[in-house]
Amino acid sequence: MKERYAPDILNCLANLSSDEVFTSPELANRMLDLLPQELFRSPKTRFLDPCSKSGVFLREIAKRLLAGLEEQMPDLQQRIDHIMTKQVFGIACTDLTAEMSRRTLYCSKQANGEYSVSTAFHDGHGNLLYERCHHTWNVQGRCEHCGASKGEYLRTDSRETYAYPFIHKSIKEIFYKDMQFDVIIGNPPYQLNVGVEKENYAIAIYHKFVQQAKKLNPRYLCMIIPARWYAGGRGLDEFRDEMLHDEYIKTILDYPNSTDCFPGVDLAGGVCIFLREATQKHKEVRIVSYKGNEMTSEMDRPLLEKGLNTLVRHNKAITILRKVQLYKESTFDSVVGPQTPFGFVSSFRDFKEKPFLNSIKYYTYGFTGYVSLDQVKKNQQWIKPHKVYISKAYGERGDFPYLFLGKPFYGEPNSCCSQTYLVVGPFENKNICENVMTYISTKFFRCMVMLKKNAQDNMSYVFGCVPMQDFSHPWTDEMLYKKYGLDKDEIAFIESMIRPME
């Protein structure tokens, strides 16, 4: 007899957006596997998903508890009722996700419905709650809790406000009593569109769920979030510092390609899963890197390497970084200017196609033109010297090897550029600029950039691990490998990650 195929509907859900990404059962179980499994054999362990969208975490937790408590509670219905009423709790993100989550967990639209797996609830919400919240606006027109803009999210009762309860209310306000949880686990919303500067301008919001969860002091906290906090991300400096100095973080699973976790969802910088264990401090964190479902490296190391204020993503790069740091050289970020170096935004088009009297050559994406000195609003002192230009933004998707940077080009005297490019320099003459460009073009240079670069933009900080060199002569990878004493495995890592710059 042919076996019937019964697909899991939670594997088939399309994501609402890149802001709210659904978790597959496989990924949820990958996260649950990080927890001590004895938690699922105790009738006292209490779990919370503070940002339930499909209910997948709570369902998979309930399945594990059903198996783990079987000997202690042989009666199936008694076991189900105990788990549903005493051990699994959820806070939904919206009205829609509340209904989805209840159907997933209770097999019924209402927890006390005719077809609910539990017979112990007296109301339809059960322990999976959602109550519409409102933003609290400050004088600047921003929500005090999440940063949403009043113009974008001041809505009528017929429209979703996206004022997520977990970060807008206390646990006591949500559950109408103080609650203590042993495990908080989930996949929070990632960002909130605030419509500033441009229509799709968004701010990160996932860190607020992490910070709120920490305040509840669970024994274990496990979440999957974007990994841009490692080194960048607008508004994440405080969160990054907090995470990198958190002695209770035990494990980080790193996925540079977000589609390895969420097929079809391309998040710049990838995603990570972290486990925080509040009962024990950890001098070193187990950092595991993945490509697809394959583990590519595993290492116990500090979250912060000496002299850095960011997390180095790649385990195999740590020994390279430590060898470079032994030289105690200044770093290349000292010669990289800020974004919009001359005050011209990329959309600026008020330039001439041909040179005119006292004109200045102007570089922007796809065009070369000429401007007058009075049009240059910033850093006029960089116009006359020799310099190097390099693209401010450069990104690639898919498998390594990557370039990581666009090809640099010479910035002759009497030239400037739009925010499309960064200025490197200035330098004394063209020969030095050409030698600088040979260095930028090496795989070694771009590997050191990779340690801090996890998004398209090349702000000056991404060059903070790149050592300065003597630019009286050109550089090659072979010269740099020899200088820093890199072994064959370290060289092989660089060669596998970075492709030649033609």
Please tell me whether residue 44 adopts helix, strand or coil conformation.
coil
Residues ≥6 apart with Cβ < 8 Å to 359:
352, 370, 371, 372
Separation CA 149–CA 203 (nearest Å) = 10
Residue with tokens 């198996």: 67
Residue with tokens 């030095």: 432
Predicted confidence at residue 356, as pLDDT, reads 97
Predicted confidence at residue 445, as pLDDT, reads 97
At 54, the amino acid letter reads S
From the centroid of its chain, how far is CA 411? 34
Separation CA 484–CA 322 (nearest Å) = 10
Residues ≥6 apart with Cβ < 8 Å to 246:
276, 303
Residue with tokens 């009962």: 279
- Specify the long-range contacts of residues 202-205, CB closer than 8 Å, at least 24 apart: 202/19, 203/147, 203/234, 203/235, 204/228, 204/229, 204/233, 204/234, 204/235, 204/236, 205/146, 205/147, 205/164, 205/167
pLDDT digits 0-9 by tens, 177-208: 899 999 999 999 999 876 554 555 788 999 99
Q: Which helix (H) or strand (E) holds 374?
A: none
Query: 108, 7, 18: which is closest to 55 by C-alpha?
Result: 108
Predicted confidence at residue 1, as pLDDT, reads 39
Instruction: Provide DSSP, 484-502.
Output: TT--HHHHHHHHHHB----
Prior bond to 426 cis, omega within 30?
A: yes
Query: Which burial class, exposed, middle or buried, applies to 125 when counting CB atoms under 10 A from its CB (0-12, 13-18, 19+)?
Result: middle
Query: 383, 404, 493: which is closest to 452 by C-alpha?
Result: 404
Separation CA 436–CA 473 (nearest Å) = 9
At 225, the amino acid letter reads I
Residues ≥6 apart with Cβ < 8 Å to 65:
40, 45, 83, 87, 88
Separation CA 292–CA 30 (nearest Å) = 13
Prior bond to 355 cis, omega within 30?
A: no
Phi, psi dihedrals of residue 295, rounded to the nearest 5°:
-75, 125
Instruction: Provide DSSP, 441-469.
Output: TSHHHHHHHHTT--SSB--GGGGTTPBP-
pLDDT digits 0-9 by tens, 69-122: 999 999 999 999 999 999 999 999 999 999 999 999 999 999 999 999 999 999
The domain made up of 325-497 is a member of CATH 3.40.50: no
Residues ≥6 apart with Cβ < 8 Å to 101:
52, 53, 54, 55, 58, 90, 92, 128
Paired with 191 in beta bridges are 204
Predicted confidence at residue 5, as pLDDT, reads 45
Please tell me whether residue 57 adopts helix, strand or coil conformation.
helix
What does each of the 502 residues of the chain score in pLDDT, given as a tens digit? Answer: 345 545 565 665 545 555 578 899 999 999 999 999 999 999 999 999 999 999 999 999 999 999 999 999 999 999 999 999 999 999 999 999 999 999 999 999 999 999 999 999 999 999 999 988 889 999 989 999 998 888 888 877 767 788 999 999 999 999 988 999 999 999 999 998 765 545 557 889 999 999 999 999 999 999 999 999 998 888 899 999 999 999 999 999 999 999 999 988 888 889 999 999 999 999 999 999 998 889 999 999 999 998 889 999 999 999 999 999 999 999 999 999 999 999 999 999 999 999 999 999 999 998 999 999 999 999 999 999 999 999 998 877 666 788 889 999 999 999 999 999 999 999 999 999 999 999 999 999 999 999 988 777 888 889 999 999 999 999 999 999 999 999 999 999 999 999 999 7
Q: Residue 172 half-sphere exposure, CB side, CA atoms within 13 Å?
A: 1
Neighbours of 316 (CB within 10 A): 17
Predicted confidence at residue 15, as pLDDT, reads 54
Instruction: Provide DSSP, 129-171.
Output: E-------B-TTSBBTTT--BHHHH---TTS-----HHHHS-H
Separation CA 436–CA 427 (nearest Å) = 9
pTM score, whole prediction: 0.88
Separation CA 68–CA 129 (nearest Å) = 26
Predicted confidence at residue 220, as pLDDT, reads 98
